[in-house]
Amino acid sequence: MKTLHLSEKRIQEVHDLRKQSPGLQVGVSTHSNEVAKRAEQLGATYILYGHVFSTASKKGVKPKGVEKLAAVAKEVSIPVYAIGGITSAKVTDIYQAKASGIAVMSGVFSQNNPLQAVQSFRKEVNRYEETR
């Protein structure tokens, strides 16, 4: 399965891409309910929503928070993945907000031991999935 991910600025391309390649999975980074709903209407197959928590990559920009993540997940029927400032300690909060999963960059790559960070995330995801 081929996947293409677009920034919010390129949202208008979703429909044409899906029309040209029906099997293509197209995701869109979003920062609001309105854009998430629009992405779904245009044929996006998933949403990347954030930044949910404070993150060094978005200094000075207020995070969206778990409540807004939950609102987006409720508004659309396609999977919503949380991104931004995610630590393994926040995995349960994200899943309780009905997100489909997490996307992590600095939570892994900024760590002294990236493999250990991934294992910690996996442990928390598994722990949550066992309780569902």
11-45, pLDDT tens digit by residue?
A: 999 999 999 998 999 999 999 999 999 999 999 99
What pTM was computed for the model?
0.92
Helices (H) and strands (E) in the chain, counts: 6, 5
Q: Do residues 68 and 97 lie in contact, with contact meaning Cβ atoms separated by under 8 Å?
A: no
Paired tokens of 129: 């999935």
Cβ atoms within 10 Å, residue 117: 19
Residue with tokens 């996006």: 44
Could you give the angle at the alpha carbon of 2 between the alpha carbons of 43 and 96, nearest 5°? 65
Paired tokens of 124: 């928390």
Active-site annotation, residues? 51
pLDDT digits (tens, 9 = 90+) for 86-95: 999 999 999 9
